[in-house]
Chains A and B, each alone.
Chain A
Amino acid sequence: MADTARDAPPEQTDFHELEDGEELFPEPATTQESQPASLAAEDISTNSNGPKQDSLFDDDPEDLFAEATEEVSLDSPERDVLLSDGPSPAITPITPPTSVITPRIGHTHDDMFTHSSFDEIEEEEGGDSFDIHISVSDPEKVGEYMTSMSLFKRNEFAVKRRFSDFLGLHSKLASKYLHIGYIVPPAPEKSIVGMTKVKVGKEDQSSNEFVEKRRSALERYLMRTVKHPILLKDPDVLQFLESSELPRAVSTQALSSAGLLRMVNKAADAVNKMTIKMNESDAWFEEKQQHFENLDVQLRKLHTSVESLVCHRKELSVNTAQFAKSAAMLGNSEDHTALSRALSQLAEVEEKIDQLHQDQANADFYLFSELLGDYVRLLTAVKGVFDHRMKTWQKWQDSQMLLQKKREAEAKLQFTNKPDKLQQAKDEIKELEGKVQQGERDFEQISKTIRKEVSRFEKERVKDFKTIIIKYLESLVQTQQQVNKTVSDIFHHN
């Protein structure tokens, strides 16, 4: 080697310090403050696997009811019963061809995804059915009101319901209450793609996720429905929650003729809405409608951003896992012992972190994203209620105009000599006057109801958001603390 006038590169000395047996990650020189015991935050479950939502009702003094928990579990009714059901004479459901093979998917309460009966792919079931347990926090009488109203026979009970039952419930409630101004929470949407995968027996990550997503959505739907003081007392709701057998709701299948009819009606409504020009005498309504329009736009935007966040976080989790594997291979390849061990440790840490990212992505989704999605759908119901008010007004106006016309006609008839026709006209007018009065009453009633509903909705919304956002932030805290712990452990492992 050519002689050198300069010293060997300074790194040489460093190298000799680090013997093969030495560890790469020494105890850190800086003192690390010990983490507070808030790591035991495991009771804040990010997946709503049947949480007991007890604390939600505390604040409201007007709420006379304390909570108990009621389990509503869904299961497919006995297959034999189904097969013996003849098709309903009124409606012949058009079952999509993919529903031919419908296995029963069993879940137990504690372990969400034990597919015990997954292999039983035998008989045909017409509807979508699966077995999940959800908890619904339900108000129960306490104190002095215990005896006067016995809404529920027992404190805690479980019933099995199918997805179509939920849709049926919603459809009944909507037809009863929407047009008089009550904000009926919308039911979760049907997903033909998702359900098909599940029915075909695809036992993989995405169909598990789909089932969990649906379960969570149904739980939230029921929660919102029973939080509504009027809806809670509705006999359909009570029957839904209590009775062991429900008549099968056949008109809820997506591709059924009833379903198509519904779609046509919706379209007709939309057209009508455009043609009604209402003289708004009450600025409150105009203001509120505008407010909800804006809110809708913003929430949709936020929802999109959060969905993007979920997607990216899942990506991060996958990428981290891949990196962990790669680092492990690199560690295997490394011939310097301490560095090899360090690389393996790095791989382990990254693997744990990838799991944390995955969990966080779930929290992002189930807490934040689904909350926003729910409210986007709820706002549709709210807007619907305002539309119904317009329709009610229109009806009233129509009756008034008709009355006017009839009065004019009657006046004309006064001068003719047709006593029969005159009497008929007078009768008609009387009837119409009644109608007009009713129309006005309806309009005032729906306006009054909407005011109350909107105020209740807004209060609920604020409370809902706050509660869930806090939960979400707490999930973020937990993730960060776990990251901290996982990385710090490198230093202590040696």
Chain B
Amino acid sequence: MTSIDENSKEKLRSVSVDLNHDASLLIDIPDALCERDKVKFTVHTKTTLSSFQKPDFSVPRQHEDFIWLHDTLVETEDYAGLIIPPAPPKPDFDSPRDKMHKLGEGEATMTKEEYTKMKQELEAEYLAVFKKTVQVHEVFLQRLSSHPVLSKDRNFQIFLEYDQDLSVRRKNAKEMFGGFFKNMVKSADEVLISGVKEVDDFFEQEKTFLLDYYSKIKDSTAKAEKMTRAHKNIADDYIHISATLNSLAADDMTANKKNLEKLSDLFEKFRKVEGRVASDQDLKLTELLRYYMRDIQAAKDLLYRRARALADYENSNKALDKARLKSKDIPQAEEHQRQCLQKFDKLSESGKKELTSFKGRRVVAFRKNFIEMAELEIKHAKNSVALLQGCIELLKSN
């Protein structure tokens, strides 16, 4: 059982500003268990709301349960005008697992000490992936709990409270909706959005902005990830260098022995710093970009739904005109048209609000993370300098 203590969670909660403010509904994931491929999260809720049966309770949930919750929210018509928080990505342990495998294969070529260090490094990486996935699932729930409308959702409540396995419910839901909405969105987005005539300047601007921004941020995320990986590779190289220097020191019988040991020690410390640089950059930059990339996709989905509503409205207009021509079923057509218009207006109004607050959220999160990242980079650089200068002094004095 891997426990995540409050301290490290604070550090991890990076991509969104504090969501867990409102004491009426507090959610967190204090524990998670990793069994092979499956991660089991313990979702803990503390609430003062009467809609819940108990004030303080926990349930075990799997990643698929989160996806179910997300999908049901997306498919709920009432929420069409809201940005549904993006679903957390599936826990991905492939990268550290592959590396662990390669390490096992290469065990013969390195010293015992080197192997141990590499293993430690990999275990740390594993743990980091684990912590990240816990965080991203937690943030998803907290976004919901802090949203005025979504927090009241019945399915959300079920998710938090239902003390038995959700998988039965999941299957039913799939049969009911059949992923219809999702498929529609995935296939027809661009066509819809470009085909529909936009009446509102605000949305026109947002559409252009979001489409462009999405592709750019997707690219930035990928490039940031490559940067982080290069840092990690360098940290690994330092491990090997440190270990070989140690071997050299062991064989050396001259006064040089001490120098080699100091040098080996330096590279060992250096690689820890480099490792931290890599993980800080990962959390504050790569993860940030990745999260907002998904968030922007969610905002785009909102636009698509609105575009569809507009299309529906225009179609209803055409149907009304036809009905008037034929003098048949006019009141139904009128009613239908009125409903479409009402739905469209509702979507537009809530959409505007959501998109505006989204921008604010993004700016604040970016600012917080960039500043933190810069401060950490400075701290690490200073650390490195101190380590290096210390070693240089020792070497020179010998």
Residues in chain A within 8 A of chain B (CB atoms): 1-2, 4-12, 14-16, 18, 24-25, 28, 30, 32, 291, 294-295, 298-299, 301-302, 305-306, 308-309, 312-313, 315-316, 319-320, 322-323, 326-327, 329-330, 333-336, 338-339, 342-343, 346, 458, 462, 465-466, 469-470, 473-474, 476-477, 480-481, 483-484, 487-488, 490-491
A14 near B360 with CB under 8 A, answer yes
Task: Please measure, in the bound complex, the distance between the C-alpha atom of A488 and the C-alpha atom of B366, giving whole angstroms.
Answer: 18
In the complex with contacts A316-B234, A336-B359, A305-B377 CB distance below 8 A: no
Task: Please measure, in the bound complex, the distance between the C-alpha atom of A342 and the C-alpha atom of B148, giving whole angstroms.
Answer: 31
Task: Identify which of A30, A301, A339 contacts B244 (C-beta below 8 A).
Answer: A301
B388 near A309 with CB under 8 A, answer no
Task: Please measure, in the bound complex, the distance between the C-alpha atom of A334 and the C-alpha atom of B223, giving whole angstroms.
Answer: 18
Any chain A CB within 8 A of the CB of B97? Answer: no
Residues on B with C-beta less than 8 A from A6 are 22, 24, 148, 151
Task: Identify which of A15, A295, A469 contacts B395 (C-beta below 8 A).
Answer: A469
Known interface pairs A10-B21, A294-B251, A329-B219; 14 further A-B residue pairs with C-beta atoms within 8 A, sorted by A's residue number: A15-B364, A24-B363, A24-B371, A28-B371, A291-B251, A302-B241, A306-B237, A308-B237, A316-B227, A319-B226, A320-B227, A333-B209, A462-B255, A477-B388
Any chain A CB within 8 A of the CB of B41? Answer: no
B378 near A484 with CB under 8 A, answer yes
Chain B contacts with A in 325-372, Cβ cutoff 8 A: 346, 349-350, 353, 357, 359-364, 366-367, 370-371
B209 near A11 with CB under 8 A, answer no
Any chain A CB within 8 A of the CB of B196? Answer: no
Residues on B with C-beta less than 8 A from A295 are 248, 251
Task: Identify which of A1, A4, A305, A323 contacts B227 (C-beta below 8 A).
Answer: A323
In the A-B complex, list the 7 residue pairs whose CB atoms are closest, starting with the nearest.
A15-B360, A316-B230, A4-B148, A484-B381, A323-B223, A305-B240, A309-B237
Task: Please measure, in the bound complex, the distance between the C-alpha atom of A12 and the C-alpha atom of B350, giving whole angstroms.
Answer: 15
Residues on B with C-beta less than 8 A from A480 are 381-382, 384-385, 388
Task: Identify which of A14, A24, A335, A343 contacts B209 (C-beta below 8 A).
Answer: A335
B256 near A476 with CB under 8 A, answer no
In the complex with contacts A15-B363, A25-B370, A10-B18 CB distance below 8 A: yes
- Closest residue of A by beta carbon distance from B109: A301
In the complex with contacts A4-B149, A336-B363, A474-B392, A327-B220 CB distance below 8 A: yes
A333 near B212 with CB under 8 A, answer yes
- Closest residue of B by beta carbon distance from A471: B392
Residues on B with C-beta less than 8 A from A24 are 363, 366-367, 370-371
| Nearest CB in chain A: distance from B336 CB, A | 23
| Nearest CB in chain A: distance from B168 CB, A | 30
- Closest residue of B by beta carbon distance from A36: B385
In the complex with contacts A15-B363, A298-B248, A480-B385, A323-B146 CB distance below 8 A: no
In the complex with contacts A323-B223, A481-B381, A490-B389 CB distance below 8 A: no
Residues on A with C-beta less than 8 A from B42 are none
In the complex with contacts A335-B209, A473-B388, A18-B237 CB distance below 8 A: no
Residues on B with C-beta less than 8 A from A330 are 213, 216-217, 219-220
Residues on A with C-beta less than 8 A from B363 are 15, 18, 24, 336, 338-339
A309 near B148 with CB under 8 A, answer no
Task: Please measure, in the bound complex, the distance between the C-alpha atom of A10 and the C-alpha atom of B361, giving whole angstroms.
Answer: 10
Any chain A CB within 8 A of the CB of B17? Answer: yes
- Closest residue of B by beta carbon distance from A354: B227
Any chain A CB within 8 A of the CB of B68? Answer: no
B381 near A483 with CB under 8 A, answer yes
A477 near B385 with CB under 8 A, answer yes
Residues on A with C-beta less than 8 A from B381 are 480-481, 483-484, 487
Task: Please measure, in the bound complex, the distance between the C-alpha atom of A342 and the C-alpha atom of B240, giving whole angstroms.
Answer: 38
Task: Identify which of B346, B361, B392 contacts A473 (C-beta below 8 A).
Answer: B392
Residues on B with C-beta less than 8 A from A313 are 230, 234
Residues of B contacting A: mostly: helix
21 contacts between A and B (CB under 8 A): A10-B17, A10-B18, A14-B360, A16-B360, A18-B363, A24-B363, A24-B370, A25-B370, A299-B248, A301-B247, A312-B233, A312-B234, A320-B230, A322-B226, A333-B216, A339-B363, A339-B367, A342-B366, A458-B254, A462-B256, A484-B381
Residues in chain B within 8 A of chain A (CB atoms): 17-19, 21-22, 24, 146-149, 151, 205, 209, 212-213, 216-217, 219-220, 223-224, 226-227, 229-231, 233-234, 237-238, 240-241, 244-245, 247-248, 251, 254-256, 259, 263, 266, 346, 349-350, 353, 357, 359-364, 366-367, 370-371, 374-375, 377-378, 381-382, 384-385, 388-389, 391-392, 395-396, 398
In the complex with contacts A25-B374, A305-B240, A462-B256, A18-B209 CB distance below 8 A: no
Residues on A with C-beta less than 8 A from B367 are 18, 24, 338-339, 342
| Nearest CB in chain A: distance from B183 CB, A | 28
Task: Please measure, in the bound complex, the distance between the C-alpha atom of A226 and the C-alpha atom of B344, giving whole angstroms.
Answer: 87
A483 near B377 with CB under 8 A, answer yes
| Nearest CB in chain A: distance from B11 CB, A | 17
B382 near A484 with CB under 8 A, answer yes
Scoring B18, B205, B224, B360 by chain A CB atoms within 10 A of each residue's CB, the highest score goes to B360
B216 near A329 with CB under 8 A, answer yes
Task: Please measure, in the bound complex, the distance between the C-alpha atom of A323 and the C-alpha atom of B285, giving whole angstroms.
Answer: 11
Task: Please measure, in the bound complex, the distance between the C-alpha atom of A262 and the C-alpha atom of B384, giving whole angstroms.
Answer: 49
Residues on A with C-beta less than 8 A from B266 are 473
| Nearest CB in chain A: distance from B378 CB, A | 5
B223 near A319 with CB under 8 A, answer yes
| Nearest CB in chain A: distance from B221 CB, A | 9
Task: Please measure, in the bound complex, the distance between the C-alpha atom of A299 and the C-alpha atom of B260, giving whole angstroms.
Answer: 13
A9 near B147 with CB under 8 A, answer yes
A322 near B213 with CB under 8 A, answer no
Residues on B with C-beta less than 8 A from A320 are 227, 230
B357 near A1 with CB under 8 A, answer no
B245 near A326 with CB under 8 A, answer no
B237 near A305 with CB under 8 A, answer yes
Task: Please measure, in the bound complex, the distance between the C-alpha atom of A469 and the C-alpha atom of B263, giving whole angstroms.
Answer: 9
Scoring B248, B364, B378, B398 by chain A CB atoms within 10 A of each residue's CB, the highest score goes to B378
Task: Please measure, in the bound complex, the distance between the C-alpha atom of A301 and the C-alpha atom of B240, giving whole angstroms.
Answer: 9
- Closest residue of B by beta carbon distance from A3: B148
| Nearest CB in chain A: distance from B3 CB, A | 28
A462 near B385 with CB under 8 A, answer no
Task: Identify which of A1, A11, A299, A487 contacts B17 (C-beta below 8 A).
Answer: A11
In the complex with contacts A319-B223, A483-B381, A12-B357 CB distance below 8 A: yes
| Nearest CB in chain A: distance from B2 CB, A | 30
- Closest residue of A by beta carbon distance from B384: A480
Task: Please measure, in the bound complex, the distance between the C-alpha atom of A1 and the C-alpha atom of B371, giving whole angstroms.
Answer: 36
| Nearest CB in chain A: distance from B288 CB, A | 11
B385 near A481 with CB under 8 A, answer yes
Residues on B with C-beta less than 8 A from A10 are 17-19, 21, 146
Residues on B with C-beta less than 8 A from A299 are 248
A302 near B245 with CB under 8 A, answer yes
Task: Please measure, in the bound complex, the distance between the C-alpha atom of A335 and the C-alpha atom of B356, giving whole angstroms.
Answer: 12
Residues on A with C-beta less than 8 A from B396 are 470
Residues on A with C-beta less than 8 A from B224 are 323
| Nearest CB in chain A: distance from B35 CB, A | 34
B360 near A12 with CB under 8 A, answer yes
In the complex with contacts A473-B388, A477-B385, A312-B230 CB distance below 8 A: yes
Residues on A with C-beta less than 8 A from B227 are 316, 319-320, 323
